[in-house]
Amino acid sequence: MIILWTDALIYLLILVMLALGLYLRGKEHIKRPLQQIGSSKIGMISLVVLLFFVLIGLLDSVHFKPADDKKNEIISLLDDWATPLREHGEKTYSAPFATKLYSKEMMAMPDGSMQWGYPRLEFGGRHLDDPETQRIRDILQKGFYGLAQGVGLTGLFMMLYLCIPTLRRGNTVRVAPAARAVVNPSTKVVWLVLFIIVPLATTLIHLSAYYHVFGTDKVGEDVFYQAVKSIRTGLVIGTLTTLIMLPMAIIFGILAGFFRGWVDDVIQYVYTTLNSIPGVLLIAASILMVQVYMANHEAAFTSVIVRADMRLLFLCMILGVTSWTGLCRLLRAETLKLREMEYVQAAHALGVKQGAILLRHILPNVMHIVLISVVLDFSSLVLAEAVLSYINIGVDPTSYSWGNMINGARLEMAREPIVWWSLTAAFVFMFALVLAANLFADVVQDAFDPRRSGNE
Amino acid sequence: MNNPILAVERLSITFNHRQTVVDDISFEIHAGETFALVGESGSGKSITALSVLRLLPNNARLNAEAINLHGDDLLKRSEFELCKIRGRRIGFIFQDPMSSLNPVMTIGSQIEEVIKLHFDLPRDAIQQRVLELLQQVELPQAPQRIKDYPHQLSGGQRQRVMIAIALAGKPDLLIADEPTTSLDVTIQAQILALLKDIQEQTGMALWLISHDLALVSSIADRVAVMQQGKIVETGATAEFFNQPKHPYTRKLLNALPSMQNCLAHSTEENPPLLQVSDFYCHYPIRKGIFKRIVDYVRAVDGVSFDIQQGKTLALVGESGCGKTTLGKSLLNLIPGSGRVVINGVELNGLTGEALRRQRANIQIVFQDPFSSMNPRMLVGDIIAEGIRALHPEVSAEQRKARVRQLLQQVDLPEDSALRYPHEFSGGQRQRICIARALAVDPKLIVCDEPTSALDVSVQAQIIQLLKTLQQEKGVSYLFITHDLAVVAEIADDVAVMYQGKIIEQGGVAEVLTQPKHAYTKKLLAAVPVLKMDH
């Protein structure tokens, strides 16, 4: 097993979240909002979708060298599972579910003559003898088979879920009643979503063994595989950047607002200065720096994937460093307001130390702002990645990302006949992720804002 | 009596189809009379007034047999026709003159706007009318002030402008929704006199909405009392105050703090707990590029006073006189200078850890029960905060026990500890704040207008609670207030503050019955007193 830098940070993030979960487990005032999220249909639906994305992202974050190492490459668990997808490349573009190439070329006919036409694909629909007549039927058949697999699988899980608690109750062992209480009220919806997502996934997986469900790109690579691989890049850019940005924004913003005076002056100077340097310039400079560094230390960056990972990490860091100012400004303003609130004054009067006031009175009361901006930033960062890829200072051109896919689609849209599937696949995946994140954040915010949760 | 100007029959208003805020009420207002609708907050009195003009929020449902204005049923009028009635036939004065005026328009043009809307007059005539109106509401130097912006006027002057706007349409009925609540007593008296004057000049009807029974008794002809959406009693003022029939009305009248109570206080001398001498609180005014200090705002300008152990000193004054600044700077929340000695320990000059240790001696209860508690902390944690900070050695179990005990002392259920502040009413929140202050066993609690945001009956309960706690624990209070009636109820000594200085102090009976300073006399004269025959 090989741990890349971004992998390590992702594991760290998960550890932190687990620790936080353990710490907050028994807290009454945390449990109630969680129950509210649990009872919100939209919240649970978007959570399930998000978790699905996260699961794929995590699978794609466990890297190792395959046992039969020929090409000195590092692959992830996801790659291992999707080996056929990865290796079944065509020559160039092909449409979704196509059996023939998208462009004409000279083909050698069985009788030895040469003909100008659309050649059969090497892998897509290879098992068919006569694609024209069998294709639709075959797709439906295989699709249905995949669907049935998914429904069966979900059904099995549901049976297990329903049976195990009864068994346990028989043994008078009750595990995690709190966790069940959190999920219970909208279990139905969760199962409904699972019954949609899992069969959809199995159908796609099953079909992708025989066809290119989202077509292939210019060099003949499967677009479905690309889109799935891009999930990790999107999640990494969205979460790691935030992880880097948040501490700076929160600490500086709150300190500036709370202490005012020279602390405020210094912090304001820092962020106004940083703000007046064009972000693109900083990003370009740091990416070039990394590239130069990697070129000078070639021994440490032997694999393509390690290089791409280093570049991704630096992109996250530099995006984080340039994007904390907006949130910092908001938090400073909010803290300026909060520090005059009477409960802060009462805390002063009670002899509470300043650090404790910051942690107990200021920080929790700005968290809603942090939450909102994190989610908004998450989506805008995913988009920023696309823009940066456009001017070639985004993620490495060899790594998969929706940005790269959309960037490539620029030329494909201008082509005649048009190649629409790369863009569509990237759009659908990105849309699902960003929408789910936005909806979930809304619900979380409603639940954790005491003034609003009181209304319902 | 002749035909009523406004007759409301069987009016009901529901919110979101379930919460009934006004429940089947009927009343009439006659020409030239002053009708007062009295009730505590949440009783539905403001909503009733808004419903007459159909200005209800979107989630409200109105149900009524008729709302007749001069026999003309407003319910049958379209929204378009109502626009001609609002402001023209019925004028409206809102509670808060700060937020009812557009800050970027001159007051002249705001009055002009209303006149243009309802009368087709030439330019000069409009200007003439604006000036007339401003003179009618007795705005000093009216001709020069037409071009003033709202921020250039004081609170009382703004309310005068609001009245001028309401009068611009020459209405038959003027609805005044708590017109003086946010004003000082002396200003309040002026505004009420003005309203009465104008009513006599124009012969319009005045519908006064108020929570203040004493104020109502001095101005109204007829009074109706609302409780939880119902009118429980209606009657002519004299009859109403002399022989209240409904138990709720009697309860309200009994809850009123009375100036007579001051005579009951004991006059024995206790040793002094807090000694303040020559206390200043100046804010520098800086001007120019170099931020040169050109002058100071003298918020507190050399005050000296003592507070005795187990006694209450009331600090009285109008808004802006520096009483809150003084209270807060005693706690070192605002920097001040001067000698402050509590319990033999000199506080000034203390910083850092030494100051933090002394914090336990003085605590504060704030005016606004809604912003004085962290909305994201459980009540138990809020109360325990001081113990955690000043006595970190106390174990978690002991802390919980102490919180339970404190909640009991302020008459709140024990399970309050696990709830959030927003689940409590204003009075309950104020109890929590008192419990928080008591948690560190202070010798002195600064009460900064603790009851002015509360209803009369709740106010009486809180004052009773404060008194009980004083008897039990021997704690002293510095009670900051603008309400002289409350002073009579709770204080042993009084200090009257005016423009940063204490102009008169002494025993409560002495100051309230034989005021020496002219300002104190003026203040006392302005307090609305229940006109009852005793």
What secondary structure, in 3-state letters, does A385-403 show? HHHHHHCCCCCCCCCCCHH
Q: How far apart are CA A44 and CA A34, in angstroms?
A: 11
Mutate which of B19, B385, B446 to disrupt the A interface (most A C-beta within 10 Å)?
B385
* Residue closest to A316 by CA, chosen among A249, A234, A398: A234
Closest CA to A375 of A50, A60, A34: A50
Q: Do domains B4-255 and B261-526 have the same CATH topology?
A: yes
Distance spanning both ends of chain A, measured CA to CA: 50
Q: What backbone torsions phi and psi does residue B364 show, to the nearest 5 degrees?
A: -135, 145
CB contact under 8 A, B333 and A353: no
Residue B217 token pair: 């008794």
d(Cα B342, Cα B444) in Å, to the nearest integer?
A: 9
Q: Tell me which residue has tokens 């955690």.
A: B388
How close B70 comes to chain A (CA, Å)?
A: 41
Residues of A in contact with B368 (CB under 8 A): 342
Distance CA B431, CA B465 (A): 9
Query: Which residues neighbour B218 within 8 Å (Cβ) at sequence distance 6 or greater?
Result: B192, B528, B529, B531
What is the distance between the alpha carbons of residues A392 and B488, in angstroms, rounded to a whole number?
78
User: In B156-271, which ranges are E strands?
Assistant: 173-177, 205-210, 222-227, 230-236
C-alpha torsion sign, points A201, A202, A203, A208: positive
Regions of chain A with pLDDT less than 50? 172-176, 178-179, 181-182, 453-456
AA identity, residue B459: Q
User: In the block, which residue shows the tokens 């805008």?
Assistant: A380
> Residue A252 has what pLDDT?
95
Q: Is 3.40.630.10 the CATH classification of the domain at A228-453?
A: no
> Quick one: CATH architecture of B4-255?
3-Layer(aba) Sandwich (3.40)
First and final C-alpha spacing in chain B: 30
B388 to chain A: which residues are within 8 Å by CB? Answer: 352
**Interchain CB distance below 8 Å, A348 and B333:** yes
- With b for 16 or more beta-carbon neighbours within 10 A and e for fewer, the B24-46 pattern comes to ebebbbbbbbbbbbbbbeebbbb
Which residue of B lies nearest to A362 if distances are taken between CA atoms? B374
Contact (CB<8Å) A341/B371? yes
Chain A, chain B: beta-carbon pairs less than 8 Å apart: 82
Contacts of B328 in chain A (CB under 8 A): 345
Q: What are phi and psi of B268, to 5 degrees?
A: -65, 150
- Exposure string of B380-394, with b = 16+ CB inside 10 Å and e = fewer, is bbbbbbbbbbbbeee
Tell me the pairing of strands B4-15 and B60-63: antiparallel
CB of B334 less than 8 A from some CB of A = no
Report domain extents, chain B.
4-255, 261-526
Do residues A422 and A409 make contact, with C-beta atoms less than 8 angstroms apart? Answer: yes
Instruction: Give helix A363-390 / helix A223-259 axis angle, nearest 10°.
Output: 140
Q: By CA distance, what is B363's nearest residue in A?
A: A349
pLDDT of residue B15: 84
Q: Residue A352: list chain B partners with CB under 8 A.
A: 385-386, 388-389
- Tell me how crowded residue A264 is: count the other CB atoms within 10 A of its CB: 18
Q: Does B94 touch chain A (CB under 8 A)?
A: no
List of residues 6+ apart from A419 with CB closer than 8 A: A93, A102, A215, A409, A412, A413
Which residues are bridge partners to B25 per DSSP? B11
Instruction: Tell me the chain A residues in contact with residue B378 when contact means C-beta distances shorter than 8 Å.
Output: 28-29
Q: Tokens for A399, please give them.
A: 């790594």
CA distances in angstroms from B264 to A280, B493, B495, B509, B518, listed in the order given:
77, 13, 18, 9, 25
Segments of chain B scoring below 50 in pLDDT: 1, 533-534
Chain B contact present for A120, CB below 8 A: no
Q: What is the DSSP string of A50-105?
A: HHHHHHHHHHTT-EE--SS-SS---EEHHHHHTHHHHH---SS-B-TT-SB-SS-E
Handedness of CA A85, A89, A93, A96 (dihedral sign): negative
Q: What's B68-119 look like in SS3? A: EECCEEHHHCCHHHHHHHECCCEEEECCCCCCCCCCCCCHHHHHHHHHHHHC
For A341, half-sphere exposure in the C-beta direction (CA atoms, 13 angstrom radius) is 23
Contacts of A30 in chain B (CB under 8 A): none
Cβ-based neighbours of A106, under 8 Å, separated by 6 or more: A114, A115, A116
Q: A360 — contact with chain B (CB < 8 Å)?
A: yes
Does A177 lie at the interface with B, CB-CB under 8 angstroms?
A: no
Q: Name residues whose C-beta falls within 8 Å of residue A354's C-beta, 6 or more positions apart in sequence.
A: A258
Q: Which residue of A has its CA nearest to B362?
A: A349
Q: Do A350 and B436 touch (CB under 8 A)?
A: yes
Predicted ipTM of the assembly:
0.79
Any A CB within 8 A of B418 CB: yes
Vertex A310 angle, CA A305 and A315, to 5°: 125
Query: How wide is the angle at C-alpha B289 spanned by C-alphas B284 and B294, nearest 5°?
Result: 30
CA distance A101 to A95: 8
**B231 pairs with which residues across the strands?**
B226
Q: How far is A239 from chain B (nearest CA, A)?
A: 26
Say if A342 is an interface residue toward chain B (CB within 8 Å). Answer: yes
CA distances from A286 to A315, A318, A323, A383, A456 (A): 8, 7, 15, 20, 49
Q: Where are the domains of chain A?
A: 79-208, 228-453
- Predicted pLDDT of residue A71: 67
CA distance B322 to B354: 27
Residue B515: CB partners within 8 Å, gap ≥ 6?
B504, B521, B523, B524
DSSP one-letter code for A121: P
- Give the best residue of A342, A367, A449 to mutate against chain B (max B CB count within 10 A): A342
Contact criterion met (CB < 8 Å) for B374 and A361: yes
Q: Provide the whole-model pTM.
A: 0.78
* Interchain pair A343, B371: CB under 8 A: yes
Which of A27, A339, A343, A344 best probes binding to B when mutated, by most B CB atoms within 10 angstroms?
Answer: A343
Q: What is the CA radius of gyration of chain B?
A: 26
Rounded CA separation A252/A233 (Å): 28
Q: Does A451 touch chain B (CB under 8 A)?
A: yes
- For residue B145, CA distances in Å to A36, B115, B158 come to 55, 18, 12
The CA distance from A381 to A403, in Å, is 11
| Contact (CB, 8 A) for A357 and A347 | yes
Residue A116: what pLDDT?
84
* Gap between the Cα atoms of A199 and A154, Å rounded: 8
d(CA B146, CA B138): 13
The pLDDT value recorded for residue A175 is 46
Query: Which architecture does CATH list for B261-526?
Result: 3-Layer(aba) Sandwich (3.40)
